[in-house]
Amino acid sequence: MEKKRVVHYINNFFAGIGGEEKADIPPESRPGRIGPGMALAEVLGDKYEVVGTVICGDSYFGENIEVAQEKLLSMIGDFKPDAFVAGPAFNAGRYGVACGTIARAVEQKFSIPVITGMYEENPGVDMFKKDLYIIRTGNSAADMRVAMPKIGALLKRMMEGEEILSPEAEGYIPRGIRVNYFADQNGAARGVEMLVKKMAGEAYVTEYPMPVFDRVDPQPAVKNIKKARIAVVTSGGIVPQGNPDRIESSSATKYGIYSIEGMDMMSPNDFMTIHGGYDRAFVTENPNLVVPLDALRQLEREGEIGELVNYFVTTTGTGTSIGNAKGFGEQFSKKLVEDKVDAVILTST
């Protein structure tokens, strides 16, 4: 019996080509399975074959979406696939967006089963969960051994035309699709049962889970702004020319701290923006629009603020996961406390 043909999409890192320094590689195609494709082939079994792997650098895909998508679709079509797997991307934001984008495009063009996997905070989840089956994964590749069997199991059910069960049963992220079913109890009885369990402190599972957001209590107002040490933190993507730390233009996985000592303004000769979520023309000409160093130095000279610390903290907000953003804050806030910063001005776009 002829095996069913599966094509796998991975990025530069999982292809073993390199890390961030190779994130700009254009699409390429290789026969057979590579990297995590080995685990995919193992869980799929003898009736299926990973016939090809397509690869693209995360930065290249994000900066050339239409071109990358067109090239990848052509390469995927050459393998005559019966199914397509992207990733899994875990908590890598750019990778997640690429996986979701190409998986949806494959589904639309070839009308074959497609699947991917991501951590729940990956920006690709909100972008594509209504379009695709996205297996819920851990936040790093350490979860590969758990995630890939779930991907393989659901993909085989899709390829065999079997009924796809609930997100809890199959392990995928809820798609916001409601399905009618016959329950043993009506809604009133189920609701009272949950309420009784909740009042008794017992475990229960709600039928309508709500999103959970951190609530941060506001700090007291600055008592004397004219004596306060002020710092600037921005999610507007302002970096030194050349972006020395290679902060991503979207779905950032890092931040930078850069000196402004002795500077009265943010010169376009020294600074640029790498933000991928807005028209950069005006900020490229005048970075002070995002990091208002010129205005703050004037306030400092006039005694309206006590002192501006001689560095700013920067990252890119677009698509950056809540988990990464929270981690950034936990890290650089220690430096702000050590430097006796009294207040932070947080600028965006």
DSSP secondary structure string for all residues of 299-323: HHHTTSSSEEEEEEEE-B-TT--HH
**pLDDT at res. 231:** 97
Q: How many domains does the chain have?
A: 2
> What domain range includes position 303?
225-347
Q: Any bridge partners for residue 158, and if so which? A: none
| Average pLDDT of the residues in 12-29 | 92
Nearest alpha-carbon partner for 306 in 336, 340, 337 = 340
Residue with the two structure tokens 């991907």 = 151
Q: How confident is the model at residue 294 (pLDDT cuts 50, 70, 90)?
A: very high
In a domain, 95, yes or no: yes
How far apart are alpha carbons 32 and 50 in whole angstroms?
A: 6
Backbone angles phi, psi at 117, to 5 degrees: -145, 140
| Average pLDDT of the residues in 284-307 | 96
pTM above 0.85, yes or no: no
How far apart are alpha carbons 272 and 291 in whole angstroms?
A: 11
| Average pLDDT of the residues in 189-196 | 94
**pLDDT at res. 217:** 87
| Average pLDDT of the residues in 280-291 | 94
238 and 166 in one domain? no
| Average pLDDT of the residues in 295-317 | 96
Contact present, 236 and 83 (Cβ < 8 Å): no
pLDDT beyond 90 at 214: no
| Average pLDDT of the residues in 54-63 | 92
**pLDDT at res. 189:** 94
**pLDDT at res. 255:** 95
Percent of the chain with pLDDT over 90: 76
Q: Among 135, 170, 205, which residue terminates a domain?
A: 170
Contact present, 313 and 255 (Cβ < 8 Å): yes
For residue 251, the number of C-alpha atoms closer than 13 Å in the C-beta half-sphere is 21
143 and 229 in one domain? no
In a domain, 207, yes or no: no
pLDDT tens per residue, range 236-257: 999 999 999 999 887 788 999 9
In a domain, 215, yes or no: no
pLDDT beyond 90 at 265: yes
**pLDDT at res. 302:** 96
230 and 166 in one domain? no
In a domain, 316, yes or no: yes
